[in-house]
Structure 1
């Protein structure tokens, strides 16, 4: 994991979202299978035909260790993009996580793997392998355009995308936001007079 990815890993998605004015947050329906999952890594994108996951296998083979597989499945919620076997392949090859605008299956097996998966939910129907699809192309996932190499950060609150050309600026702004929030909490929380002063100041604007 690179230095910039480590910096993002230490930041909550909420502060990163604030630094980007909320413009690159994925649809909030895309959530982690476990609350404790946290990812921060480079996107390896894959676009698939609805219901077909052969290109997902190709992406797992082509991606580098530490990458986050980002799958444009057209928000389909009937056929699974992956089950525990396919997720296990990604884990074994060192990928950091999977973010899919679609659904997965074998949820218990995937949770047992402890591998971060963010999806719209689960299904019982398997995907097909007729072919088609593309890797390392621009995709639309959760209503956001994503390119391979963008930084993907996900936690219990959701997933946010940091465009490559803004990552240094965004990480600094998000760090500043966290520091400001911590300072405000230390000064205000639990102090009745400070709470009233804060509320009066905000409401006066």
Structure 2
């Protein structure tokens, strides 16, 4: 019985959908998706970008690594294709860095979109200078081994979110969301429609309209039976 498994092929979300997704934000897609699906797909605030100004969208290539080891990350990196987002999971998050500058140099040469790591990264100063898109839950200089069992291109639970190989990963300064590949096109289109509506609101604000009125908040406020006093709070 094998201790590890690697799938060399991935059924990827359409590349054109990923290109369109780069024109919208994680927040827009999150709001546009059905609520239950959006909550299942959104990684926690622990998953933070190294460089907040970067935005990516691409199909997931996954790696599940043993504690303190990143051999399976390297196998996934070897198999990944241009435009892919490498999703790496090491549940012993600070047992060894999963990603560093040499991996990023290779990923840049291959044309990967970025990497999302439940676990530690290192060489952060160099990674920032390289502007390679990286999201992670931890930073640690601890050297990883390269001999551990694991899996590549299987469904993984990354920061509590189930990511299947080929699902669309979107990430920006707000965080990371996984969009199932079957619903990715619809989610992106709904997000673009939402952005168009927000452009209209932004133009109205520029013309002097009140956001309170544009968002139609008065009825919700009235339903709370609020006592609103025209004066300062005493004391």
Q: TM-score, normalised by structure 1?
A: 0.92
Task: Tell me what 1:203 maps to.
Answer: 221
Q: 1:98 aligns with which of 102, 115, 121?
A: 115
Post-superposition CA distance 1:22-76 (Å, at most 9, x none): 3211111111101111110110111111211011111111111110100111261
Distance 2:45 2:153 in 1: 24
1:12 has 2:30 as partner: no
Q: Which runs of 5+ in 2 are unaligned?
A: 1-13, 224-235
Q: Which moved more, 1:78-87 or 1:155-164?
A: 78-87
Q: TM-score, normalised by structure 2?
A: 0.81
Distance 1:179 1:56 in 2: 39
CA 1:204–1:183: 2 relative to 1, 3 Å: farther
Deviation at 1:201, TM superposition (A): 4.0
Deviation at 1:196, TM superposition (A): 4.6
Alignment RMSD (CA, Å): 1.9
Q: How does 1:22-101 map to 2 (within 5 A)?
A: 22-23=38-39, 24-74=41-91, 76-101=93-118
Task: Tell me what 2:176 maps to.
Answer: 159
> Is contact 2:68–2:92 with CA below 8 Å preserved after alignment?
no
CA 1:61–1:192: 2 relative to 1, 3 Å: closer
- Residue correspondences, number: 205
Task: Tell me what 1:110 maps to.
Answer: 127
CA 1:194–1:125: 2 relative to 1, 3 Å: closer
SS at match of 1:120: strand
CA 1:137–1:201: 2 relative to 1, 3 Å: same
Post-superposition CA distance 1:96-146 (Å, at most 9, x none): 100011110111111122110111131121111123111110001111000
CA 1:14–1:132: 2 relative to 1, 3 Å: same
Distance 2:164 2:210 in 1: 48
Distance 2:111 2:180 in 1: 23
Give 4+ residue runs of structure 1 displaced > 3 Å after superposition. 192-199
1:174 has 2:187 as partner: no
- Choose 1 or 2 for highest CA Rg: 2
Q: Which moved more, 1:63-72 or 1:172-181?
A: 172-181
